[in-house]
Structure 1
Amino acid sequence: MADKKLIVVFGATGAQGGAVARALLAEGTFQVRAVTRKPQRKAARELRKLGAEVVKADLEDGRGLEAALRGADTTFLVTDFWEHLSEEQEVAQGKRVADLAQHLALSYVVYSGLEHVSQLTGGRLAVPHFDGKGRVEEYFRALGVPMTCLRVSSYFENFLTVFRPRRAPDGDGCELAIPMGDVPLDGLAVADLGPIVATLMKEPKKYEGQTLGLTAGKLTVAEYAALLSKHTGKTIRDARMSLEAYQQLAFPGAQELANMFRFYHTKPQRDIALTQQLHPKVRTFEAWAEEQKAAFEDL
């Protein structure tokens, strides 16, 4: 094991971190140190069975983070705004890891970031769960830490949760309440992030210093609805919801997500060809929908 590069994976029991940890372990040429606050969770136990070293650490605890990173060559960092809904807390977490990456002289960092929307729009539009990550990316760059920033598209898995089709008000089938109109929305299966990060870790010098926009495809809401209808056997259509109506929905974060969709209307850079180059077997939405059709049986 001594000749294998040690990679620390943050958020290892979550969606992104879990996908990355599993892909790195499957690659077989890395040691993986999986970081979690809850090492007794089922997901952590499964990673341990696959060969990961599972350690307990918290992004709020600098001393614990230093112990988790000590001896590592590289790290994959993802932070979770939705856990606390605080841009400043997310920025502090990211900066804490960036400072340690510099202090411990890590050779490479892959950071799951997003655009600094407020800066890009001259303050006209704030999307805190994007903005904080954009600020952290800038901080990494200012420190000179060797890193690649990934900008992941909307997860296909969101169609199982926040984008899940809802019963139409008239009772005729289901609707997708996604306020994109006819503007295509980029998407990616979160599990496909793992092989992409594994590719970067194998050739860090090739991708160091870059910001990579990832997507498996660009579909309108009507096209997403048509494919879901095809693969679930349900009648699903675009609700044609406006941004103004969306931000009035009664759930925490509705305004935040409405602003995200406003930013998505500007068509931020996400590159299908690059994503396919990094992971030739990346799934299309149609392939993902076919795999997940059982999850929509209760519609």
Structure 2
Amino acid sequence: MSKTIVVTGATGTQGSAVVRVMLETGNWKVRAVTRNPESDSAKAIAAKGAEIVVADYDDEASVKKAFEGAHAIFALTNWWEYLRRGKSQDECGLIEERQGMTLARAAAEIPTLEHYIWSTLPAAKELTGGKCPVPHFDYKAVVDRRIREELPALAAKTTSLFFGFYPSNFAYFHMLKPIPVPFAPGRYVWLVPSKKEAKVPTSGNMAVSPGVFVRQILANPSKTHGKYAAVCTEVCTLGGMLKTWSEVTGKAGVFMEIQVEDFAGLLGIAGREAALQLKFGEALDDWYEHVKVKGEFVTMEELGISMAEVADFRGSLEAVKEHLG
């Protein structure tokens, strides 16, 4: 008998990839959670075979109903959504923490649940000794801690899944795209509030990699229960990322470091948040060392994931090449 996975955020970047890959296994029924079942994206995943259910993260009863009968749950929250609604960085974080715990509490009450996968990020403020807080990282990390402290039974069957930098940001996240220089035809400048040498974990082809990692986490519960994993197919320097972008697009990219305050002045609060993430990358070469040293980390190789399936940074850019201009 097929088991059921519930996917929250099912029409977003991570969730839609999980829906797609889990449907392709043929072994799982996929229940996709959305607030708007009439959206084009919701209709598209319904056409592929997903069951669409409606829930609101601020309505715990609706979340619990959506989770009924689930054997696995992929859970994530969206800090950036509330920034676009005019909230401050910390206001967005407090909403994210509240909603993350709503999802966790609802999941903890599902008797059929075998595996909970929580989409998260490292505790930037804690790991840098307070020097580099990154709200869209830090409040997710608070949920990690609270699950362990407040919901130990759920924690025992949870895999916390870190996500690195999306290569597709070069295609779809406009503040992180190289821009043409009007007075230097053929050249593109990448304004970056960090150094060329800063290292960043990258998450592969985001149309596929989230789903592949979830599939393999669920296939290896003895290795993944109570552990962390990372959707990271390659660690790159920022300068190396631009070089690869230039090679894939055939355009001359020029790296230009900009101060955080200037980047924020240009792009507002969203620019400040993106800048803080990149400064965190300067501070830590390895985002995941803190869990590796505790023996709490499961590698891509241990999960049986091949690079051919999820793609390195170059392959990830090739996958969205038509949108890189």
With normalisation by structure 2, the TM-score equals 0.85
Encode CA deviations 1:134-164: one digit per residue, 9 max, x unaligned. 0111122121112000111010111112311
Asked whether 1:88 is paired with 2:88, we answer: no
Aligned position for 1:21: 19
Question: Over aligned residue pairs, what C-alpha RMSD do you find?
Answer: 1.9
Q: Secondary structure at the match of 2:320?
A: helix
Among 193, 202, 215, the alignment partner of 1:187 is 202
Alignment deviations for residues 241-277 of structure 1 (CA, whole Å, 9 cap, x no partner)? 3444333333332222222122111123359x92355
1:20–1:197 CA contact under 8 A, matched in 2: yes
For 1:154, what is the secondary structure of its paired residue? coil
Deviation at 1:167, TM superposition (A): 2.1
Identical pairs, percent: 30
Deviation at 1:32, TM superposition (A): 0.7
Alignment of 1:1-299 (within 5 A): 3-85=1-83, 86-105=92-111, 106-142=113-149, 143-144=151-152, 145=154, 146-160=157-171, 161=173, 162-168=175-181, 170-172=183-185, 173-181=187-195, 182-188=197-203, 189-191=205-207, 192-265=209-282, 266-270=284-288, 274-278=299-303, 279-280=305-306, 281-297=309-325
Q: Output the amino acid matched with 2:161.
A: L
Q: 1:170 to 1:277 in 2, by over 3 A?
A: farther
CA contact (8 A) 1:180 1:220 kept: no
* Residue identity opposite 1:269 in structure 2: W
- Tell me the CA shift for residue 88 of structure 1: 0.6
Q: Is the 8 A contact 1:34 1:54 kept in 2?
A: yes
Contact 2:161 2:230 in 1 (8 A): yes
**Counterparts in 2 of 1:121 and 1:285: CA distance versus 1, 3 Å:** closer
**Contact 2:159–2:228 under 8 Å retained in 1:** yes
- Give the deviation of 1:187 after TM superposition: 1.1
Unaligned runs of 5+ in 1: none
Q: CA–CA distance in 2 between the matches of 1:69 and 1:158?
A: 31
Q: Residue deviations 1:4-51, cap 9 Å, x none?
A: 111100000000000001110011101110000011112211211211
One-letter identity of the residue aligned with 2:200: L
CA distance in 2, matches of 1:91, 1:210: 20
CA distance in 1, matches of 2:126, 2:320: 37
Quick one: which amino acid aligns to residue 41 of structure 2?
Answer: A
Moved over 4 A (4+): none
Which letter maps to 1:5? K
What is the identity, as a one-letter code, of the residue corresponding to 1:274? T
Q: Normalization by structure 1: what TM-score?
A: 0.92
> What amino acid is aligned across from residue 267 of structure 1 in structure 2?
D
CA deviations 1:181-216 (Å, max 9, x no partner) are 112222113221111111111222320111123312
Name the CA distance, whole Å, in 1 between partners of 2:109 and 2:56: 18
Larger mean CA deviation between 139-148 and 179-188 belongs to: 179-188
1:286–1:121 distance in 2 versus 1, CA, 3 Å? closer
Q: Could you tell me which runs of 5 or more consecutive residues in structure 2 were left unpaired when the two chains were aligned.
A: 84-91, 290-297
How many residues end up aligned between the 2 structures? 294
